[in-house]
Chains A and B, each alone.
Chain A
Amino acid sequence: MFFQELWQLLKKDLKVELRRKTSISGVLLYLVSSIFVLYFTFTGAANSIGAATWSALFWILMLFGAMNAMATSFYETGERNQYYYCVASPTTIILAKAVYNILLMLLLAAIGYAFYILLMGNKVESSAVFVLAVFLASAGFSTFLTLVSAISAKSSRSPFLIAVLGFPTIIPMIMLVIKISKNAIAGLALENSMKEVLVLVAINIISLTLSYLLFPYLWRS
């Protein structure tokens, strides 16, 4: 029953997205044009930026991309949504949104990463560790920001609030991700970033659990 409901809601979100293509194309446009800006700025000198700048720019792109993609998660409160949300329980709604946002963010991150490497070159020695960092960060950003956007959607100044609430709370995750990517750029094996990876996974699980526990209270209001 639960999984059936989850699957239905997920399918609904996917269908709406495929029909409208607003958030995917919007965020992709943002990512691609930002990467082009970077490319033109550093053009002709592929090695003109150091590895630290390379990784900083990449994570800034990812962070703002995630912000853009998640900001509208609960924005559309049309009558049809009201109907959907009447028949489904709030815990399934938030889990479906979180799963949908994770999938969306993974897709965006994969395309963004590929395009970034294509234009800006690859500075990472151990790519597998970096890809793991991108994977964990995408999952983490999306679960975290799903709850934040659910909170901010309930206020009158929602797009402004998601940045205010989201940026400070996401910094712990960013610090871990930057540490892992530093290790990956230096070519260190996964064993050296195991502690950070585990803490990142723990934060992911905590934020998912919190969403599950807290969303019903948001939903009732």
Chain B
Amino acid sequence: MKLASQTWFRALTIALLLYTVLAGMLFDVPRLPILNESIRALYFHVPMWFGMVIILLLSVIHSIRYLSGFDIKNDVLATQYANVGILYGVLGLLTGMLWANYTWGTPWHGDPKQTTAAIAVLIYLAYSVLRGSIEDGDRKARIAAVYNIFAFAAMIPLLFILPRLTSSMHPGSGGNPGFNAYDLDSKMRMVFYPSVIAFTALGIWIASLYTRLQFARNSFEENNQQ
């Protein structure tokens, strides 16, 4: 959280995001059949999933830290990271559907990665339902932390193991060429990796802003009660 309030962190995030948008739209990309110019969606669709997994990992780390010290700060951070993770998951689904509409023919193709990703988002939506249904603050934090760890463990096979057991139209599974086959000229990496960093950093920034807002609300309520 301290990281996201540093000026250099924010400047770097904005610079990388600007670079991603500009370079992603303007740089030369390999000409491939069917994909054509839509290959540029790679810069915006795949970083959503990378960002989601990294941010949910941060969320689960904060939940574990909450359970080991019962510091309410970790609970607030875990919640906000989970919310950003849900946002990235939904955006990843939407960008994927847009891309699939032009390359696979339909927005919802029943591709295993698509369905499992949708279920992963559902698992985390259940996390917010759980938080909403417990009144008591300390108990809510503790139970939510337990479910968050459980949810992360349930999500890992869903995203990383199950899609590999069946054939998929995504690159890298079911005999399809891997991700590397698309960017043989490695030019795309020059945009892709900065894009992953940029979107992950943006997520951390959003979560830290919401955390500060939550703290401000908490202290405001405390002051009003006195």
User: A43 CA to B154 CA in the complex, in Å?
Assistant: 39
B126, B150, B166: the one contacting A164 at CB < 8 Å is B126
Known contacts A151-B147, A169-B151, A199 near B142 by CB under 8 Å: no
What does the 1/0 interface line of A71-97 toward B look like (CB < 8 Å)? 000000000000000000000000000
**Do A164 and B130 touch (CB < 8 A)?**
yes
Q: Is A171 an interface residue (CB 8 A)?
A: yes
What are 25 A-B contacts defined by CB distance under 8 Å?
A151-B146, A151-B150, A152-B130, A155-B130, A155-B134, A155-B143, A160-B133, A164-B130, A165-B126, A168-B123, A168-B125, A168-B126, A169-B123, A169-B126, A169-B150, A172-B119, A172-B154, A175-B162, A179-B165, A199-B165, A202-B157, A210-B149, A218-B146, A220-B142, A221-B143
Residues on B with C-beta less than 8 A from A70 are none
Q: Which residue of B lies closest to A161 (CB)?
A: B133
Residues on B with C-beta less than 8 A from A210 are 149-150, 153
Q: Which residue of A lies closest to B145 (CB)?
A: A217
Contacting A at CB under 8 A, from B140-198, are: 142-143, 145-147, 149-151, 153-154, 157-158, 161-162, 165-166
Residue in B116, B119, B125, B150 with the greatest tally of chain A CB atoms within 10 Å: B150
Q: Is B135 an interface residue (CB 8 A)?
A: yes
Residues on A with C-beta less than 8 A from B28 are none
Known: A151-B150, A199-B157, A221-B143. 19 other contacts (CB 8 A): A151-B143, A154-B139, A155-B134, A157-B133, A164-B126, A168-B125, A168-B126, A171-B119, A176-B162, A179-B166, A196-B165, A199-B162, A203-B157, A210-B149, A210-B150, A210-B153, A214-B146, A221-B138, A221-B139
Q: Which residue of B lies closest to A200 (CB)?
A: B157
Q: Is B67 an interface residue (CB 8 A)?
A: yes
Contacting A at CB under 8 A, from B104-122, are: 116, 119, 122
Q: Is A147 an interface residue (CB 8 A)?
A: yes
Q: Is B129 an interface residue (CB 8 A)?
A: yes
Known contacts A175-B162, A218-B142, A218-B143, A165 near B149 by CB under 8 Å: no
